[in-house]
Structures are given as structure tokens and as C-alpha cells.
A and B are shown apart, each in its own frame.
Chain A
Amino acid sequence: MAELSFPKRPYRTKGGVHAPHNKNTAHKESVMMPVPAIVALPMTQHIGAPCKPMVKVGDTVDVGQQIAGSDAFVSAPIHASVSGKVKKIDKITMPDGSKVEAVFIESDGEQRLSPDIKPPKVDSLSDLITAVRNSGLVGLGGAGFPTAVKLNIPSDKNVDTLIINVAECEPYITSDHREILENSWDVISGIITVKEFLNIHRVIIGIENNKPDAIKALREIADSSIDPEDEIRVLPIKATYPQGAEKILIKACTGREVPVGGLPSDAGCLVMNVGSIAFISRYLKTGIPLISRRLTVDGGCIENPVNVIVPIGTPIKEVIDFVGGYKEQPYKLIMGGPMMGISLPNDDLYVLKQNNAILALSEKEAKYNEPTACIRCGKCLDACPMRLQPLELANAANRGDIDALKAYNAMNCMECGCCSFTCPAKRHLVQNIRMGKALIQKAKRDEIAANKGGKK
């Protein structure tokens, strides 16, 4: 195989939109949130099998003690983020509307560290994967895919490039940006750990060029003697949404395309969020599992926007009160970014592991317009980073035409929302396509069920 080279400038990617950046919190030091009176830890804070509670009502738990786990391969254990008593185990409504069991822990305010916590011994790749699994780490960028599964690359895949995702292309969100400025050494030492164990010799830190201070901070360390072979390079990429989407970032950093239906490893890449990689390095040093995270609290209705480090499971209402409360009645409350985040029905929900922002948007910011007729302007085609035809997909979804949805590659849509953002007729394109994807999946399930029925 030819020697791997580092690109001088990013490869061209198509589409995308210029959403307003609104990075109001980029220059503010993160603040640490005091321990809340109660935390709720839902059993699903990751993609994969839900965990089962390992504690009973009335049990006393310590900080960092594992309270839930699962034997499934794709899953991540959950740890207590406060010390105190298990008050109840009850179903709560998740942001997406599903009902999930959650462990409620009433804090005793002592933050007593669990005696089991000690730095893990890591001598091999399998040690690292086990350690990461035990840490409960999931992708902190928003998707929440268990990191241990990601590191467990199948042997038939040849992964030669590690890409660190610092694009942070969603408006408002600056939690990754602050992570770099505040913990840049953790980032680099995490990178070195992962690249050594996975035997990767090319690490590209893909970072949007609207964060010059973070680029400078990373370059200073990456160019120092800590990286003698010069295998870690920072690549500034253009600041358009959605440069941080995995497939787009891979294209921008390596010029490779992830095949339709494939994973990044099919393109020889491993993509990790900067927050996740910094956490790995901290976990290997301290052994404290994922019990808190940094999240951006911002939006036109927030009194004092800032990044907050919060214990996982903190009620969202308390986080907002901590930063000064609402300036005015918000029009929309969003978990995640304004382009892909989920809008919440109320603030009676809890911070999850993969939750990178809470935004309280005013009516002016999150304007809603009734959809009007499609004028076939084709702007959605120009905006689609996956080069799909959103208008055709949305039409096919509306008429329930599964064959057409498949023909137009509906499953390749990553729901970034560029089409809806750019549509002059304000049509709900991405919403319709999401519906279309669900139709395809339902048809597939029905087909499998029918086949099983036939065999019996």
C-alpha cells in the first residue's frame, strides 16, 4: 500500500448550507454545575440494547458505581453520577417520546467516590476496548454510539486513518471547542493512546476554520515533540453545515467515500468525537467513568449562555436555572443543535450522555412557516451533501411509494436538514424523508415476518 499522505487542504464536498454560526459561548470558560438534589439515569442513553438496573430502591450508591448494564455487544453501562440513595425506579418520557425505565438517585451531597474506582490496566487493544466499555463511554458528539463497539474494528477491515471530529458545524454549540481550549493535552494524549493500540499512522483532526484559537492550540501540541513521527495533523475545513457529519468529514479529510449502507471502516477510517477521545485519556488516568459532561446552554431566551459541566441525569430545568434561567418564555426548547436536535415538549427532562447542548430559542430564531407548494427550484438538490434528490424523496414518501424511495436511495439520507433549511416554499422535506425511511424499514420487517411465517 502506498505511503499515506496528509492532504494540504480539505477535499471538496458538495452541498451544505450557510447556517448562522451563533457561537456565543466560544470565549466563555465552562462552569461546573453544583450537585443536583436528584438525578434520573434512563436505561437508554446510547444506540443499542437498553441496560437493566443493577440496584434496588433504597440502595446506597457512590459516585462512579455501576448501576446498570447489559450483556449485549452494542450497549454501554451506566454509572451513578452522584452519591446517595436510590429513590425510585420508574418510567420516564425520553425526548423522542418513548417511555424508558430510569433510576432516580437522591443525592446526599457528599459526592463520595466509589472504592472500586482505580485506573484500568491497559496493555493491549483488547484491554483498551474492555476499559472503554467499562467506562460507559458513548460518542459524545450527539449520536451516542458506544465507543467500545467502534474501537472493536472487524479484522477484515483495514483502518489506516483516525479522524478526530471537531467540526462542530451545528449553530450555537461550542462544547467541543471549549474541550479543546480547556483540555487540549487530554485530546492529544487520547489520540496517541488510540492510534498506538490500533496501529494507525495517520491522524487527521478535522476542525472548522471558524475556531482559529482551537486550531492554534492543537497545532502547538501536535507539532511538538510529543508526536515525533508527525502522524497527527490539524486540517482546517470550511465552516459550512454539515461538515461534521461522519461521511462528509471523511470525504473532506481523505477524499474517500463511505459506500452506501457501509460504515466508516469500509472507507478505512475511524471517526471519533474530540470529547470522547479526551474522555478516554482522562479515564485511563483516573478510572472515573462517564458521569458528567460538558454541554452548551444557549439560545435567545437564555439569560447567560455558557458551557456547563453537569452530572449526567441532572434535570434540564435545574441546568437552565443554574445559568440564570429564561430571559423570556422560550418558543422552542431543543436538546442538541438547531439543525438536528430534538425539540422538547417541556423542561422536565434529564441530561443524557450524548446530550451536547440545550437551546432555548425565541420565536424569531426558530421561525415556523406553513409549507407552500413546491416550485421545483432544485435548491434542495444543490444543498444536499449526500447528492440526493430531496424533492423526489419527499414526494415518494408522501405517496407511500416504497419502490421510488429505494430507487432514489432514501436510506442514504442522514437527515441533516439542509433541504428543509434552504427550501423557499418551507416544505418539511426532511420530515417527509424520515417518514419514507421508516416506511422502507417497516416494509423490510414485514417481509422478514412473512418469510418466517412461511417457513413454519
Chain B
Amino acid sequence: MESKLHVSSSPHFKGNNSTRRIMLDVIIALCPAAIAACVIFGLRSMVLIGVCVSTCVLLEYASRKIMKRDTTIGDLSAVVTGLLLALNLPVDINPLIAMFGCLIAIVVVKQMFGGIGMNFVNPALAARIVLLVSFPSAMMHWVTAAGAPAAAQIDATTSATPLAAAPGVYSYIDLLIGRCGGSIGEVCAVALILGGIYLVVRRVISPIIPCVYLATAALMSLIVGLDPLYQLLSGGLLLGAIFMATDYTTSPVTKWGKVIFAVGCGFFTILLRAYSNMPEGVSFSILLMNILVPHIERLTTPRTLGYVKKAKGEKK
């Protein structure tokens, strides 16, 4: 036999997981929300998604080239970022503003910190916040959704979001199927929940973060005197809890870390919604908790098998 054997460290078997497969699953999970966006806001949302995704991929490719590093667009993470960012924007936003958001997400937040796995905050979320602060009026120009109740109408083309509207304007059904104003991806709760179930079933995400986030938000709503179900279904909470807070890179890897992280997200979301000047608090609360992740992980190192504080025999 010629000496052509490959020698490497064990294990010699590898599972079928891959980064690309995981990202593809996230894209699949976002499809219901994207389709719902097209139904509710028309084909303009498709154009917006297309602009964001292609800009993100292009920027990722270009920045890796400029930095003389391997191209990483094959792992599809830039597509996920672009898609998430698009779903977080109002439908009639100027495409140039959207492209600026992509620049912030991919170049500033992701690649400047070392690319995939190295960013300390969620790129899409950070971009959304930069846009919100830089272009507040464009970012809060909510086009009336198909079938939205007339009472929510502000003028001929726009209407209030569920969080800004007077109580009773939107019914739970309106919120569930997306007959309300808001970012293109956040309005249809059913589509988001479907995507979340897909991710949990495919074991891409653990249900800890979304469930604890939503439970904490519901509890907090009760405490501050808001309608819990209305709070959960409105605004970006579902999109944030299912797709943003569960971002691998910027959430804790330990089980109890995930719990603490999600509790923090839920707590700050409702706190901001109830007491701050802004109608929405999801982005800021997740961003804040993102920054705390390294500390949370250090506090929640799991107990290794056989570790006992006082090594004295067996526990009875």
C-alpha cells in the first residue's frame, strides 16, 4: 500500500452540522415573516429585502477582500443580517438609508470586530438603532397596513403602531395576523411564531431565551399595569425574542446564562415601553444585555461532573 493515509487527531467522525446549514435554517424560519410582509405592505417590502440582503452580501465580500481575508459569504450569515435588518425597517424607507444601515451592520459592527462570531452586539440590531437615532422621522413613518383598522389612521397614508395607538384600536386578531402599522417583519405575530417553532424543532435555538424573555415581559407588564398579551403581540417583541436575542454570538452559551440574559431583556423591554419617551424598547434592551454577556457567562459556569466544593464522599 502506498503511503497515502491521512493522519489527524480524533475524532475521525464529524456530525452533519455546519454554520451554513444553521444560517439556512434561520433564513427558512424568517420566510413566513418575509412573505407576510409582502402580503401586508405589498411588493415594496420584497424590494427592500432584496436591497438589504444584496448590500450586506456585497459589503461582506468587499470588506473581507480589502482586509485580505478568506471570503465568508458562503456561510450565509450576511444574508441573515440583511434579512433581519430589512424586517426591522418601515416599508417606505429610502433605500439609501437602508444601505447605510447595512454598512453599519456588516462593516462597522461585524467585520471591524473580526467577522462572524466576534461581534459583541447583534449587527442588525445595532444598525437599526443607529438608523433610529440618525433618521428618526424616516424610521418612524408607518405606512398603513392592508386591512388595518381605520381608527389607527394618522393621515391618508400612515397609521399608528399598536404601541402608540390608543387602547382598543387594535384587536388581538389584528396583531396576530399583522393588520397594524410597524416594521415590515414585526407586524405578523403568527408568521414569527411559526418561524420560532421551526428553529426550536430543528434544534437551531434552544427555547430558553424566547420563552423566558416573553414570560418576563408578560410578568413585567402585569406589574406596571399593561395588558400582557397585547404587549407580547405588539411591536418588535416577538421578532426580538425569537430572532434577535437568540443570536448565537451575542447571547450566553450557558443554560443559566441564557435565563439571566432573557430575564434582563424582558425586564428592560417593558420598563422602556412603560416609562421612556420612546414607544419601543426591544432593541435597546437586547443591545444592553448583549454587552453584559461576557459577565453573565462568567457568573454561570456550569458545574463540571464530579465537582464538589468539599470533596467528602458521596451525597446521601
Contact = CB atoms under 8 A, between A and B. Distances in A.
A199 B75 CA distance: 59
Given A376-B117, A424-B21, A389 B5 contact: no
Nearest to A256: B314
Given A377-B22, A386-B305, A421 B6 contact: no
Given A332-B5, A389-B254, 10 more contacts: A14-B305, A17-B15, A259-B307, A317-B1, A339-B12, A365-B13, A366-B12, A368-B14, A373-B117, A412-B304
B116 interface: yes
A400 B157 CA distance: 61
B1 A347 contact: yes
Interface string A331-350: 11110001111111111000
A422 B306 contact: no
A171 interface: yes
A224 interface: no
Nearest to A317: B1
Contacts of A388: 302, 304
A19 B13 contact: yes
19 contacts: A19-B15, A259-B307, A260-B308, A332-B6, A332-B12, A334-B12, A338-B12, A340-B10, A341-B12, A345-B3, A347-B1, A361-B12, A373-B115, A377-B248, A379-B17, A389-B302, A424-B19, A425-B117, A430-B11
Contacts of B301: 389, 408
Nearest to A360: B5
A425 B19 contact: yes
A231 interface: no
A343 B308 CA distance: 36
B295 interface: no
B1 A342 contact: no
A373 B118 contact: yes
Nearest to B252: A378
A434 interface: yes
A331 B6 contact: yes
A338 B307 contact: no
A150 interface: no
Contacts of B252: 378
Nearest to A373: B117
B7 interface: yes
Contacts, number: 166
Contact of B11 (A377, A420, A425): A420
Contact of A424 (B17, B303, B305, B311): B17
A345 B254 contact: no
A43 interface: no
B116 A375 contact: yes
A338 B19 contact: no
A171 B17 CA distance: 18
Contacts of B118: 373
B4 interface: yes
Instruction: Summarize B's interface: helix, strand, loop or mixed.
Output: loop
A174 to B, nearest CB: 16
A431 B118 CA distance: 22
Interface string A233-273: 00000000000000110010000111110100001100000
A435 B192 CA distance: 44
Interface string B109-151: 0000001111000000000000000000000000000000000
User: Which of B2, B11, B18, B116 counts the most chain A CB atoms within 10 A?
Assistant: B11
B276 interface: no
A131 to B, nearest CB: 32
A420 B13 CA distance: 9
Contacts of A248: 305
A386 B301 CA distance: 13
A428 B7 contact: no
A386 B307 CA distance: 10
A35 to B, nearest CB: 23
B63 interface: no
User: Which of B4, B75, B252, B304 counts the most chain A CB atoms within 10 A?
Assistant: B304
A339 B306 contact: no
A309 B181 CA distance: 74
A369 B3 contact: no
User: Which of A258, A260, A378, A430 counts the most chain B CB atoms within 10 A?
Assistant: A378
A267 B118 CA distance: 42
A256 B313 CA distance: 10
B10 A339 contact: yes
A339 B13 contact: yes
A341 to B, nearest CB: 6
Contacts of A247: 305-306
